Amino acid sequence: MTDLKRRKFLKRAGTVGLATAATAVAAPAIAQSNPDIKWRLTSSFPKNLDTLYGGAEVFAKAVSEMTDGKFQINVFAAGELVPGLQAADAVNAGTVEMCHTAPYYYFGKDETWAFGTCIPFGFNARGQNAWWHEGGGEKLMNEFYAKSNIYAMPGGNTGAQMGGWFNKEIKSPGDLKGVKMRIGGFAGRVMEKLGLVPQQIAGGEIYQALEKGTIDAAEWVGPYDDEKLGFQKVAKYYYYPGWWEGGPQLQIYTNLAKWNELPKAYKAIMQNAAARSNDWMMAAYDAKNPPALKRLLAGGTQLRPFTQETMAACHKAAMELYAETSAKNANFKKVYESYSSFQKDQYLWWQVTELTFDAFMASTLNR
């Protein structure tokens, strides 16, 4: 081979090599290192509740988009794979990889589960979020969930909820005695101290129970969801506030063994997708509840506040219950000490600016 031919050959070989190298560098790193995965996620909510069920869809869509379709999570409504109130059990057992649920549904196993959503007279939505991310809540709760083979991430918040629908007026704590009420989570234990009879009923079954008189009252979420479920057709009085759900958080549960198998990048993507879902749900409720409440009132719903006497009696009962539960449940005590301490500081701060500003702005509506 002559020197001229040799130089031309080396030039072509170098060009091909550079092109190959460039192609390798241009390929997305995630495409080279992360596998194709298909998981199933069961929701605790029906599809017609587009805000609650929608949180799981927002999460799954974000995961797919951030992995260029390599990580697909198929979302199933309550009852399609497992009943809504058994979603966490299915994740624990590995029947499904994930679920989207309200942790306080499982407080019967251990009262500590309630902190994943809320406890009566607990945080508002901002406080719950702050405690989870910055106050030690995430570490404490995932240590607790690990005993059930679960890893948790926040997956939405409704904001402060309504106090529910009643077929009679509640003018004093005594009026709660004997009332059969669908009420979720730990709140039923508080209400029992005042003589109320709590019922744990899935969202899709509440209307029929109210209509048939199986129950006398029911709480769900707030105007947007409650209107969809038609409660205004079977109960007259709509009470506020839902002191047992000041900032109820939904969570995305992943089977812990499956979570630990994921590539580091996929874990980060899932956490960011969960944050997107958490933010989206709060915004959706803040936008949709006001017009829904206007429609309910225009249709004849009677809006009523719980009296201060009733609120004070319920608060006293809640504090008694927390002391009793802490005395017998070490898991609960450990989390409650962190939770209540952080909450006190939150309200000290909000009294200075947030609550003062909100109270003034609310007063301008009547000017």
pLDDT, tens digit, for every residue of 285-301? Answer: 999 999 999 999 999 99
Residues 162, 226 contacting (CB under 8 angstroms): yes
Q: What is the CATH number of the domain that holds 111?
A: 3.40.190.170
Domain assignment of residue 352, yes or no: no
What would the pLDDT profile of 99-116 be if each residue is shown by its tens digit? Answer: 999 999 999 999 999 999
Give the pairing type, strands 164-166 and 237-240.
antiparallel
Domain assignment of residue 350, yes or no: no
Domain assignment of residue 304, yes or no: no
Residue 9 pLDDT > 90, yes or no? no
Domain assignment of residue 24, yes or no: no
Whole-model pTM? 0.89
pLDDT given for residue 8 in this prediction: 54
Give me the mean pLDDT over the 208-225 stretch. 96
- 3-class DSSP state of 216: coil
Give me the mean pLDDT over the 227-242 stretch. 97
172: which DSSP letter?
S
pLDDT band at 3 (very low <50, low <70, confident <90, very high): low
Give me the mean pLDDT over the 215-235 stretch. 96
Domain assignment of residue 12, yes or no: no
Other Cβ atoms less than 10 A from the Cβ of 114: the count is 28
Question: How long is the chain?
Answer: 367
pLDDT given for residue 4 in this prediction: 52
Range of the domain at 97: 34-157+247-287
Q: What is the mean pLDDT of the chain?
A: 92
What would the pLDDT profile of 134-187 be if each residue is shown by its tens digit? Answer: 999 999 999 999 999 999 999 999 999 999 999 999 999 999 999 999 997 789
263: which DSSP letter?
-
Distances (CA, A) of 46 to 49, 56, 111, 217, 277: 6, 11, 25, 21, 17
pLDDT band at 22 (very low <50, low <70, confident <90, very high): very low
DSSP string, 58-124: HHHHHHHHHTTTSEEEEEE-TTTSS-GGGHHHHHHHTSSSEEEE-GGGGTTT-GGGGGGT--TT---
Domain assignment of residue 274, yes or no: yes
Domain assignment of residue 207, yes or no: no
pLDDT given for residue 19 in this prediction: 45
Domain assignment of residue 218, yes or no: no
pLDDT given for residue 83 in this prediction: 94
Structurally, the chain folds into a number of domains equal to 1
